[in-house]
Structure 1
Amino acid sequence: MIGSVAIVGAGLAGATAARDLLAAGVTGPITVIGAEPHHPYDRPPLSKEALHRAISVDDHALLSSEEVAGLRWRTDTRAIGITAVEAAYRIDLDDGAPVSANSVVVATGARARGLIGDHLAGVYTLRTLQDASELRASLVTSRRVVVIGAGFIGAEVGATAAALGASVTIVEASQAPGASALGPDVAQWTLDVHRAHGITVLTGTAVSTLNPDGEGRVRSVTLADGTVLAADTVVIGIGARPETEWAASSGLAIDDGFVTDENCATSMPRVYAVGDCARVFDPLTGWHHRHEHWSAAVEHGRRAAAAILGSTPPRRRAVYFWSDQHGHRIQVCGSVPAGQAPTVVTGALHTPLDTGSEYLAVYGDPDDPVAAIGVDAARGFTRIRKRMDARLATSALAV
């Protein structure tokens, strides 16, 4: 008997686990605990569509109304501890009313990394719908925007701010932002595209301070070399930290995330960790990895649900992520090997790509690649991704 299930976290990974448990007929009950006041919603639009126009949770809901009705909800509530109590677990919440469950799925995600001075008005990070709403309102009236960090969130926000008419500067500490995920060629192309759209991109540059005006709002950003950048709005996109502190005294193994086996089981029986907060073991590499990608959250949620149900886990799929910048869609499947040149399958990189043109490249054996990168090449990229997924599923069976 499965008994009751508590899902701590109402993002994509937690929602996926909830959906699979409901589909299997679990009547438990299943309680979902979420720090936001909303039911689960998709987050990739936060750095894209949500900065152009107001969106609602219903626009990007992850669960149907029937699925929502089949779950118990504790929204606008944070977990502050988890304790084993005989054959169950007690999850303590900040509203003082704990939840008990026989099995637990930990899906608390991650929080944005900050900088000294990020308390100032006009300084934003981007993790929630509320963050996106506040940032959108600021961008509409901003003339000078500084984005700290040239990762996908920073790049997408920078592209949106430029499209809204702001003067945008992106500041990045590394010399080659995005090269580890995209490979050096596509990473350089993205920088060239930013610059072609009027964005100033400063690489190998650290931030020293965020400077206030006399009323507690950000006025400028001082760089490590003393350069001062005037700013009406500052967006910090320098990565995220897993939300694990709430369970620090629980006995769960934690090391840059909740440490799990390949099926998301933690060091405590019947407790599973999924999504951005989990470091999941990969039997093909022999290492634990924390993947902050949409596809990983879905796979983790499904694996945790299968473990609770005692059913066969879903087949493995290659890591997949994408980014929309300046009207181009960049897609990546697999992990780009360092120092290896790609084999170009279609097209060529030039700035900007001509309307209707595309670029597609693979790493490793062109007939059996370990990674693929596409720019505006959805059809060809999807074919290669399916081939990579099939190979990975076969390899996993052999481990």
Structure 2
Amino acid sequence: MSTPRDAGRVVIVGAGLAGFSAAEQLRALGHEGPITLIDSEPAAYDRPPLSKRLFDDDFTVDSLAFATAEKLQAKRIDAIFGRTVASIDPSGEYVSLDDGSVVEADTVLLTVGGRARTLQIPGNDLPGVHVLRSFADAVAIRDRVAPGTRGVVIGAGLIGAELASSLLHAGAGVTLVDPVAVPLLPAVGEVLATHLHDMHATHGVEVVVGVTAAIEQHGDRLVVAVDEGPRLEADLVVVGVGLVPNTELAADAGIETDNGILVDAAYRTSAPRVFAAGDVARRRDDDGSLHRREEHWEAAQLSGQHAAYGMLGLEVPARGATWFWSDRHGVHLEATGRLSGPGEIVVRDGGAHPAVFLVEDGVLVGAAAVDDNNTVRAARRLIDQRIPVSEAELADPGVALRSLLRAAR
């Protein structure tokens, strides 16, 4: 049984989606105390457009912001932008900023996310080698691109694939390098992962399988050396090989970390008045088992919202099946649940893109589809409600998944 608590003065370190969502949810739940968002960025803004919209004419921080200054004020959410938190008090009584100032608190929420992982290879810090995590990163990449620019993207996961598509659309020539022949296998299964990855070559992206060994400067151009592979000339190199969680603030305060800031079901850290959510948080069950960190948009939103419940001592809502999306080459991917591990993969053909499902013990546990929101939305409900399904029905493009929901009523 949860015991309501007065969170008092709440300081949220990190104004990304998790932090902003927590602030909004606190107000929605009736919290009347002060709320302060602190971030080194210029605003609280949405990050997925960084890889999708960076070449749009209206690409500005204001166009990505979750709320204007006026809307923040209307919600009584104070914001300190352009400042970095230097340390936090493990008792949750204050945070110290890089300019020496102190913000007093009764409850602290860490939604500090992560930083782009870099390659530990020669030349990783050369001018023209970029990562994509912040608005400033996106602007720096955009400023180096013109029609005919030659770009090499290292890492063909979600961010790399999206950026390769955006660069191509902006008129750049693009080479995509990854050590794995078919990325995203665990996320969407072999059939759909192969289908999606093949789209790169179809649209004119050169795909190279191999490990990047070094980046060299040759005159005004960069050269990417791939082990047992080609040497790729480039005007621009972008490294998209994952995220490193920003655990330093917590660790320096003596808060437990392990590839993330460890939290319980209420998003409470090992310091009772310090909570964590978003990309940096890693759930630990009562038996000590650890979950993987989640780095998708909805996961950040929900964890921020649910941390608000935890900070107020309220029962945290149950989580349903996970969900994420990605865009590349003009198509929209959605996936829910899991598509790896125990079970049988079922493929639904019959359209421009296959849909895939994972069935275990007669119930759906995962699904993914392209440009088919209705199927994924229905699949998510089938997963959450554990409605029995047949592999034949899932494979049949003439059977709408919504009909399986109706039949179960």
Counterpart of 2:376 (choices 369, 373, 381) is: 381
Q: 2 CA distance for matches of 1:366 and 1:147?
A: 41
**1:374, CA displacement in angstroms?**
0.6
Q: 2 CA distance for matches of 1:248 and 1:92?
A: 15
Q: Structure 1 residues 50, 328: closer, same or farther in 2, change over 3 A?
A: same
Counterpart of 1:105 (choices 90, 106, 109) is: 109
**What is the SS of the residue equivalent to 2:90?**
strand
Question: Which residue of structure 1 lines up, in the alignment, with residue 264 of structure 2?
Answer: 261
**What is the SS of the residue equivalent to 1:131?**
helix
**1:64, CA displacement in angstroms?**
5.7
**What is the SS of the residue equivalent to 1:140?**
coil
**What is the SS of the residue equivalent to 1:362?**
strand
Amino acid at match of 1:14: G
**1:143, CA displacement in angstroms?**
2.5
Q: Structure 1 residues 57, 166: closer, same or farther in 2, change over 3 A?
A: closer
Q: 1 CA distance for matches of 2:357 and 2:290?
A: 24
**What is the SS of the residue equivalent to 1:165?**
coil
Counterpart of 1:320 (choices 319, 323, 348) is: 323
Pair 1:201 & 2:196 matched:
no
Q: 1 CA distance for matches of 2:17 and 2:292?
A: 18
Alignment check: 8 A CA contact 2:55 2:170 kept: no
Which sections of structure 2, spanning at least 5 residues, go unmatched?
Answer: 1-5, 388-409
Question: Which residue of structure 1 lines up, in the alignment, with residue 95 of structure 2?
Answer: 91
Q: Structure 1 residues 22, 79: closer, same or farther in 2, change over 3 A?
A: same
Question: Which residue of structure 2 lines up, in the alignment, with residue 249 of structure 1?
Answer: 252
Q: What is the percent sequence identity of the aligned residues? A: 38
The 5-angstrom pairing of residues 347-362 of structure 1 reads 347=350, 353=352, 358-362=353-357
Range moving further from structure 2, 265-274 or 280-289: 280-289
**1:67, CA displacement in angstroms?**
4.5
**1:219, CA displacement in angstroms?**
1.6
Q: 2 CA distance for matches of 1:37 and 1:64?
A: 12
**1:343, CA displacement in angstroms?**
1.4
Q: 2 CA distance for matches of 1:295 and 1:60?
A: 16
Amino acid at match of 1:163: H
How many residues align structurally?
378
TM-score normalized by the length of structure 1:
0.88
Question: Which residue of structure 2 lines up, in the alignment, with residue 150 of structure 1?
Answer: 156
Counterpart of 1:78 (choices 81, 84, 102) is: 84
The 5-angstrom pairing of residues 1-399 of structure 1 reads 1-38=6-43, 40-63=44-67, 67-69=71-73, 70-84=76-90, 88-115=92-119, 116=121, 117-203=123-209, 205-214=210-219, 218-225=221-228, 227-281=230-284, 286-338=289-341, 341-345=344-348, 347=350, 353=352, 358-365=353-360, 368-391=363-386
TM-score normalized by the length of structure 2:
0.86
Q: 1 CA distance for matches of 2:266 and 2:348?
A: 35
Q: What CA deviation, in whole Å up to 9, does each residue of 1:259-304 have, x standing for no partner? A: 1112211111021111111112368995322010111111111111
Q: Structure 1 residues 282, 232: closer, same or farther in 2, change over 3 A?
A: farther
**What is the SS of the residue equivalent to 2:54?**
helix
Amino acid at match of 2:165: A
**What is the SS of the residue equivalent to 1:105?**
strand
Q: 2 CA distance for matches of 1:309 and 1:249?
A: 25
Q: What CA deviation, in whole Å up to 9, does each residue of 1:169-191 have, x standing for no partner? A: 11101233111111111111112
**1:363, CA displacement in angstroms?**
0.5
Which sections of structure 1, spanning at least 5 residues, go unmatched?
Answer: 393-399
Q: Structure 1 residues 132, 54: closer, same or farther in 2, change over 3 A?
A: farther
RMSD: 2.3
Range moving further from structure 2, 193-202 or 159-168: 159-168
Q: Structure 1 residues 321, 284: closer, same or farther in 2, change over 3 A?
A: farther
Q: What CA deviation, in whole Å up to 9, does each residue of 1:12-55 have, x standing for no partner? A: 000000001122332321111101122x1111111112234341
Alignment check: 8 A CA contact 2:90 2:255 kept: no
**1:338, CA displacement in angstroms?**
3.6
**1:365, CA displacement in angstroms?**
4.7
